[in-house]
């Protein structure tokens, strides 16, 4: 089978297998998870879990400190605790969890840090000339350092698709190594998510290869998309990435996380993803430490579904908040 | 639909074009009356389509064609069968228009509707079978797997016979779309009132928007536009006008349009064959 | 400097992963059976009506997931079979052979549509009587049933295109056909038989398997609803003796049988001295070849689907796994991990992957063969995390690794969720081993190299070859076997030929 030879900084080399993927088979397997019927208390479990795995995201040119503060408040308390407390009490349930993290541009990191102080919620910053990645490496490294120094606990980088699609895999690898290094800055340690931008890669074979390169280069998480193009996250593409993670775990014992991002708007979709993770990697990965949803609209749909499970009625966003 | 009732309280249906799954008026603002047969009483006004309408219809048909071709044959056959069901449901409306505007007897009008339904069912039944009759695995000499399949030609233009015949029009449309082509059809204004129920059948049969587009208009005025439009891959001319056909054949040289002449046996494999292309694929057989 | 320690994500502390429960387990999601109305006694369907059996005898039909009786089924004897054949002959001569292809097609279209409308009812009934998961009867069996009627409806007035040399003349049907079907896909097998027979102009006497008659009898209601003329389709329920009476009846023109190779042999012998035409679709011991350059994760799914789908009750099941030695260990490890995720249980639960074995007899047969396998050698494996329900005929999906071609399990059809695994080293060896069986129904091949797929397909002696996929069925695609897997094809244009005078 074809292998890509990558040189590490210490001079050793690693042979990455170019694992072939059958697209039709991948679609069929992914489709299977949409048939799982998750009801009653298992549904409530899934909804809580999904909420605790959300990275609440805003990445707009028009973002302002006010917007970020607003979003951070929602991140902490997706629904005002006093409003929902009576329903939870009736069913003897835990409080609604906060989301896992917020995801913002580097310039907004300081605002988020202040707004989320003491909450334990992660502060993820995109970096490396997100979303295109079309900038000199020095700029991308500085972009990362800036975010980490200002207090980002997670960095979501983009791979160099130009290099990848023209076959310069060593370059793709080296860049990830550099960014990983930059994640330790000014005494702060951020974990690294590597965005593959699967919608640009053209085939599942390539998604698999990019996943394997990212993991070898030190990614803590691999992530599907920037959310700025379509297609973004899909069940089949996520399945391929989960399979890369599974093989890596089998080989090395190291667990890498997964983050599908973009296009996941409904609770139903989110639950399908959770079934897929459970049946592909196992219960160990069903934790925010190893699985995230890159989403914004999803949070409110999860809340609506939670209300439905609690009360039997269909709710609207205005009960909690639109944003 | 009256127009002549002295009380005139009924709300009459406006008959528009059918383009991209919607019902726009002609951008030219022109219309022509359709009369109650052999009288001077107007039954309805139908649009006189213009070149620009044709251009818009071709754009819609172009956008719709790849998706239509990539649907499974089973899916296309289900949609064609639904057209038969919808036509049956609208039987009364079809019969009324045929009798009132084209002067058919009630019995002949019913037969006409029956034949249209037969056509939809016939081609619904062919959509997932003609490949098995027209295609082949070819025994080439040498270690290659070689197969020929019949595919859609793409965007088909249809100039209907000016002597309007519902069954013929239904057969032609069904044959064209059953193999994955999209279509722009020009109906002569004599039968223009039938455009409405026909379009409604298409609009309620789960057919993707833009696969079938219907224009009512003046054949003399528009045939040249059909003949020279480079995005039309195949042109079916059902008019018996030999001079028109000759001219269209000559115009076809510009983009190698396939020209289909008036077809005799409308429910047949041969008719369907007019609207497919053959693709042959080679692949080595070896360790 | 800003310490991010307190902001650093700590997965299991403040943002607790789980909600109300501690783990994410799937709660039962049981399909309601309210939609189905099962009569306590089910009669024969002859000449368009439901009538009592001559003997007055009925036999029970069991739900294999609960071991409880669902209903009783009429036991047709030779006199009943005679009634049915006479009704079919009369309908053929006086009515059905006089209709045009277009008219025959109309009936079939109508039947297809009604099945689509009553799809949920059929799916639930099938699961109750057969034991297969509701997800499969709902998403695979019933849609394929409707599709088969739909497909053959379209051929009824186009038969002259199906038979080269016909010109404009419609080829002629055979007359009255006797059809005997198995219990593994009850309604689908009925559709595979009835649809082409009727499209070609024949009339039918059908005997369903005795353990799964209910969905065929519901189909009879649909035939009534569609207005199918009396006697065109007749259903005689019963066991081996009913089948024997049907096969030996002098006034049938053709027999179509799907079932075990043993019974197929008996039928072949019994018609040897007659003019009756015959097609047989029998057993298989199909090989599933995985080359080292396969898309491995997808191939694992293909293998799982190939042997554990429908509890392994599939004639074309990929029951022999042939792995290229270089990837054998990796593949088997992935297979084991995947098997741990299979859910065996209540077929009415929408989350069940593997349902009940169809009957106590089948269940015992599988257990006996596994015991044989254990004494012969090979490494036996069954997933440890699976638990079986206390009641019902359930069996864990399992495999024997490192088996030899000479072991019983490499040669005998188990017809259950049992896989036999061995290795090969070259393409030629893979083909040789795959063909090393008296059967020849199906085969699977996985490789990302196109020419190797074609070379392998060229060498395999099997009627259906699945490349980079498995267990794919379509009404347009001919299905049937080589050698002792039977002869004749069902599906596609080729599926018409056995029902015409060609």
Domain containing A205 — which CATH number?
3.20.20.70
Predicted pLDDT of residue B11: 75
Q: Are residues C345 and C239 in the same domain?
A: no
Q: Which residues constitute the domain of residue C152?
A: 41-281+483-501
SS3 B157: strand
Q: What is the pLDDT of residues B173-190, one digit of tens each?
A: 999 999 999 999 999 998
Q: What is the pLDDT of residues C425-468, one digit of tens each?
A: 999 999 999 999 999 999 999 999 999 999 999 999 999 999 99
Residue C169, in any domain of the structure: yes
SS3 C464: strand
d(CA A265, CA B83): 35
Q: Are residues C262 and C368 in the same domain?
A: no
pLDDT at C8 over 60: no
Q: How far is B284 from chain C (nearest CA, A)?
A: 5
Other residues' Cβ atoms within 10 Å of the Cβ of residue C76: 31
Residue A191, in any domain of the structure: yes
Q: Are residues C313 and C457 in the same domain?
A: yes
Q: What is the mean pLDDT of residues B44-54?
A: 96
pLDDT at B200 over 50: yes
How would residue C327 be classed by pLDDT, with cut points 50, 70 and 90? very high
SS3 C23: coil
Q: Are residues C57 and C153 in the same domain?
A: yes
Q: What is the mean pLDDT of residues C347-367?
A: 96
Residue B11, in any domain of the structure: no
pLDDT at B146 over 70: yes
CB contact under 8 A, B132 and C155: no
Closest by Cα among C63, C62, C64, C71 to C43: C71
Q: What angle do CA C438, C441, C445 make, to 5 degrees?
A: 105
Predicted pLDDT of residue C447: 98
Predicted pLDDT of residue A108: 98
Q: What is the pLDDT of residues C148-171, one digit of tens each?
A: 999 999 999 999 999 999 998 999
Chain B interface, best mutation among C115, C119, C161, by max B CB count within 10 A = C161
Residue A3, in any domain of the structure: no
Q: What is the pLDDT of residues C177-210, one digit of tens each?
A: 999 999 999 999 999 999 999 999 999 999 999 9
Residue C477, in any domain of the structure: no
Residue B220, in any domain of the structure: yes
Q: Are residues C369 and C252 in the same domain?
A: no
How would residue B13 be classed by pLDDT, with cut points 50, 70 and 90? confident
Q: What is the pLDDT of residues A167-180, one digit of tens each?
A: 999 999 999 999 99
Predicted pLDDT of residue A281: 97
Predicted pLDDT of residue A257: 98
Q: What is the pLDDT of residues B14-40, one digit of tens each?
A: 899 999 999 999 999 999 999 999 999
Q: How far is A290 from chain C (nearest CA, A)?
A: 8
Residue C7, in any domain of the structure: no
Closest residue, chain A, to C25 (C-alpha): A42
Predicted pLDDT of residue A91: 84
How many domains in chain A?
1
CB contact under 8 A, C105 and B269: no
- Arithmetic mean of pLDDT over chain A: 95
Provide, rounded to the nearest whole percent, the portion of chain C with pLDDT above 90. 94
How would residue A313 be classed by pLDDT, with cut points 50, 70 and 90? confident
Q: Phi-psi bin for B154: left (phi > 0), alpha (psi -120 to 50), beta?
A: left
CB contact under 8 A, C476 and B132: yes
Residue A14, in any domain of the structure: no
pLDDT at C10 over 80: no
Q: What angle do CA C50, C55, C56 make, to 5 degrees?
A: 60
DSSP C10: -
How many domains in chain C?
2
pLDDT at B5 over 70: no
C202's tokens: 């024949």
Predicted pLDDT of residue B263: 85
Residue A15, in any domain of the structure: no
C491's tokens: 């599906």
Predicted pLDDT of residue B8: 63
Q: What is the mean pLDDT of residues A235-258?
A: 98
Residue C8, in any domain of the structure: no
How would residue B4 be classed by pLDDT, with cut points 50, 70 and 90? low
Q: What is the pLDDT of residues C32-83, one digit of tens each?
A: 999 999 999 999 999 999 999 999 999 999 999 999 999 999 999 999 999 9
CB contact under 8 A, C451 and B283: yes
SS3 C124: helix
Provide, rounded to the nearest whole percent, the portion of chain B with pLDDT above 90. 91
Q: Which among A36, A47, A243 has the least Cβ separation from residue C351? A: A36
Predicted pLDDT of residue A317: 77
Residues of C within 8 A of A36 (CB-CB) are 26, 350-351
pLDDT at C22 over 70: no
B263's tokens: 């077809």
Q: Are residues C410 and C291 in the same domain?
A: yes
Residue B19, in any domain of the structure: no
C206 φ/ψ angles, rounded to the nearest 5 degrees? -115, 135
Predicted pLDDT of residue B128: 97
Q: Which residues constitute the domain of residue B109?
A: 31-284
Beta bridge partners of C233: C204
pLDDT at B137 over 50: yes
How many domains in chain B?
1
Residue A13, in any domain of the structure: no
CB contact under 8 A, C476 and B78: no
Residue B85, in any domain of the structure: yes
Q: Which residues constitute the domain of residue A162?
A: 20-319
Predicted pLDDT of residue B155: 97
Q: Are B131 and B220 in contact (CB under 8 A)?
A: no
DSSP A256: -
Q: Are residues C251 and C360 in the same domain?
A: no
Predicted pLDDT of residue C247: 97
Q: Which among C294, C297, C350 has the least Cβ separation from residue A37? A: C350
Q: How far is A188 from chain C (nearest CA, A)?
A: 6
CATH code assigned at C186: 3.40.605.10
CATH code assigned at B144: 3.40.605.10
Query: Which residues make Cβ contacts (< 8 Å) with residue B87, sequence separation at least 6?
Result: B94, B113, B116, B117, B120, B170, B201
CATH code assigned at C360: 3.40.309.10
- Arithmetic mean of pLDDT over chain C: 94
Cis amide prior to B103 (ω within 30 degrees): no
Greatest extent of chain B over all pairs of C-alpha atoms, in Å: 84
- By residue count, chain A amounts to 323
pLDDT at C21 over 60: no
Predicted pLDDT of residue B96: 96
Q: C321 vs A169, C410, C464, CA distance in Å? A: 36, 10, 16
How would residue C3 be classed by pLDDT, with cut points 50, 70 and 90? very low
Residue C168, in any domain of the structure: yes
Residue B253, in any domain of the structure: yes
Residue C473, in any domain of the structure: no
Predicted pLDDT of residue C20: 44
Q: Are B179 and B215 in contact (CB under 8 A)?
A: no
DSSP B189: G
Residue C31, in any domain of the structure: no
CB contact under 8 A, B286 and C454: yes
Q: How far is C19 from chain A (nearest CA, A)?
A: 5
List chains adjacent to chain A, taking adjacency as at least 3 C-beta pairs closer than 8 Å: C
Residue C476, in any domain of the structure: no
Told to judge if A223 belongs to the known catalytic residues of this protein, a careful annotator would answer yes
DSSP A288: T
Q: Phi-psi bin for C485: left (phi > 0), alpha (psi -120 to 50), beta?
A: alpha
């Amino acid at each position: 089978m074809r292998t890509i030879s990558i040189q590490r900084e210490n001079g050793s080399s690693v042979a990455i297998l170019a694992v072939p993927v059958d697209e039709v088979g991948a679609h069929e397997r992914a489709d299977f998870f949409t048939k799982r019927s998750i009801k009653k208390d298992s549904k409530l479990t899934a909804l809580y879990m999904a909420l605790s795995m959300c990275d609440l995201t805003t990445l707009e040119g028009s973002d302002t400190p006010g917007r970020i503060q607003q979003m951070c408040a929602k991140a902490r308390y997706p629904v005002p605790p006093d409003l929902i407390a009576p329903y939870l009490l009736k069913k003897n349930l835990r409080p609604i969890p906060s989301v896992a993290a917020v995801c913002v541009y580097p310039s907004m990191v300081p605002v988020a840090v202040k707004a989320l102080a003491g909450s334990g919620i992660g502060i993820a910053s995109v970096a490396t000339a997100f979303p295109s990645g079309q900038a000199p490496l020095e700029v991308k490294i500085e972009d990362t350092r800036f975010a980490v120094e200002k207090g980002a606990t997670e960095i979501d980088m983009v791979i160099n698709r130009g290099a990848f699609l023209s076959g310069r895999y060593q370059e793709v690898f080296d860049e990830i190594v550099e960014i990983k290094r930059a994640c330790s800055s000014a005494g702060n340690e951020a974990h690294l998510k590597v965005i593959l931008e699967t919608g640009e890669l053209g085939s599942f074979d390539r998604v698999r290869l990019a996943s394997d390169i990212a993991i070898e280069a030190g990614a803590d998480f691999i992530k599907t998309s920037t959310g700025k193009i379509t297609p973004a996250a899909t069940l089949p593409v996520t399945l391929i990435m989960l399979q890369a993670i599974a093989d890596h775990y089998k080989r090395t014992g190291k667990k890498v996380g997964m983050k599908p991002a973009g296009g996941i708007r409904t609770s139903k979709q989110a639950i399908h993803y959770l079934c897929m993770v459970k049946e592909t990697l196992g219960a160990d990965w069903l934790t925010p430490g190893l699985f995230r949803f890159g989403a914004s609209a999803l949070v409110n749909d999860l809340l609506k579904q939670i209300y439905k499970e609690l009360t039997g009625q269909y709710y609207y966003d205005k009960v909690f908040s639109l944003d | 639909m009256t127009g002549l009732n002295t009380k005139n309280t009924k709300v009459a249906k406006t008959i528009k074009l059918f383009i991209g799954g919607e019902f726009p008026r002609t951008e030219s603002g022109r219309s022509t009356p359709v009369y109650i047969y052999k009288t001077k009483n107007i039954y309805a006004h139908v649009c006189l389509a213009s070149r620009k309408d044709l251009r818009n219809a071709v754009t819609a048909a172009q956008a719709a064609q790849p998706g239509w071709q990539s649907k499974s044959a089973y899916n296309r056959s289900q949609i064609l069968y639904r057209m038969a069901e919808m036509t049956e449901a609208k039987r009364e409306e079809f019969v009324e228009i045929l009798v009132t505007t084209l002067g058919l007897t009630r019995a002949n009008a019913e037969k006409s509707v029956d034949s249209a339904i037969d056509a939809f069912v016939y081609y619904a039944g062919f959509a997932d079978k003609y490949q098995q009759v027209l295609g082949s695995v070819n025994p080439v000499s040498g270690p290659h797997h070689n197969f020929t399949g019949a595919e859609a030609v793409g965007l088909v233009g249809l100039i209907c016979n000016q002597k309007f015949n519902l069954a013929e029009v239904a057969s032609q449309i069904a044959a064209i779309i059953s193999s994955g082509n999209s279509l722009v059809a020009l109906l002569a204004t004599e039968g223009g009132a039938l455009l409405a129920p026909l379009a409604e059948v298409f609009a309620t049969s789960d057919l993707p928007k833009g696969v079938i587009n219907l224009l009512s208009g003046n054949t003399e005025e528009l045939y040249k536009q059909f003949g020279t439009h480079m995005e039309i891959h195949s042109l079916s001319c059902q008019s018996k006008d030999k001079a028109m056909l000759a001219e269209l054949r000559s115009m076809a040289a510009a983009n190698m349009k396939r020209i289909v002449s008036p077809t005799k046996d409308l429910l047949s494999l041969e008719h369907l064959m007019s609207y497919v292309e053959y693709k042959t694929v080679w692949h080595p057989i070896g360790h | 400097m800003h310490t991010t320690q307190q902001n650093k994500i700590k997965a299991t502390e403040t943002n607790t992963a789980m909600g109300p429960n501690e783990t994410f387990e799937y709660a039962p999601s049981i399909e309601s059976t309210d939609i189905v109305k099962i009569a306590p006694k089910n009669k024969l369907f002859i000449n368009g009506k439901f009538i009592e059996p001559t003997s007055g005898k009925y036999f029970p039909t069991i739900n294999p997931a609960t071991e409880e009786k669902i209903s009783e089924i009429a036991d047709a004897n030779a006199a009943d079979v005679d009634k049915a054949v006479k009704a079919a002959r009369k309908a053929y001569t006086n009515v059905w052979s006089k209709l045009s292809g277009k008219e025959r097609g109309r009936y079939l279209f109508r039947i297809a549509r009604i099945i689509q409308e009553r799809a949920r009812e059929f799916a639930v009934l099938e699961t109750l009587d057969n034991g297969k998961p509701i997800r499969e009867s709902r998403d695979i069996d019933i849609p394929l049933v409707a599709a088969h009627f739909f497909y053959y409806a379209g051929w009824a007035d186009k038969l002259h295109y199906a038979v080269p040399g016909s010109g404009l003349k419609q080829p002629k049907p055979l007359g009255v056909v006797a059809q005997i079907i198995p219990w593994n896909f009850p309604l689908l097998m009925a559709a595979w038989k009835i649809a082409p027979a009727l499209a070609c102009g024949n009339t039918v006497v059908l005997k369903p398997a005795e353990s799964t008659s209910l969905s065929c009898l519901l189909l009879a209601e649909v035939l009534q609803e569609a207005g199918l003329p009396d006697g065109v389709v007749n259903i005689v329920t019963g066991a081996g003796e009913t089948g024997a009476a049907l096969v030996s009846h002098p006034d049938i023109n053709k027999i179509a049988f799907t079932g075990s190779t043993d019974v197929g042999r008996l039928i072949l012998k019994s018609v040897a001295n007659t003019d009756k035409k015959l097609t047989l679709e029998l057993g298989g011991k199909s090989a599933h070849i995985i080359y080292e350059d396969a898309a491995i994760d997808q191939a694992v799914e293909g293998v799982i689907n190939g042997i554990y789908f429908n509890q392994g009750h599939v004639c074309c099941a990929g029951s022999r796994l042939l792995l290229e030695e270089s990837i054998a260990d990796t593949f088997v490890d992935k297979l084991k991990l995947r098997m741990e995720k299979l859910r065996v249980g209540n077929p009415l639960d929408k989350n069940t992957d593997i349902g009940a074995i169809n009957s106590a007899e089948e269940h015992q047969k599988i257990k006996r063969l596994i015991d044989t396998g254990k004494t012969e050698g090979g490494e036996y494996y069954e997933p440890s995390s699976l638990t079986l329900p206390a009641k019902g005929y359930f069996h864990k999906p399992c495999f024997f690794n490192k088996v030899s071609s000479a072991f019983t399990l490499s040669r005998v059809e188990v017809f259950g969720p049992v896989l036999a695994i061995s290795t090969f080293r070259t393409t030629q060896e893979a083909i040789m081993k795959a063909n090393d069986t008296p059967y020849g129904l199906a085969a699977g091949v996985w490789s990302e190299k196109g020419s190797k797929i074609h070379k392998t397909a060229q060498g395999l002696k099997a009627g259906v070859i699945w490349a980079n996929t498995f267990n794919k069925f379509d009404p347009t695609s001919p299905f049937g076997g080589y050698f002792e897997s039977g002869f004749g094809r069902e599906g596609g244009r080729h599926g018409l030929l056995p029902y015409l005078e060609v």
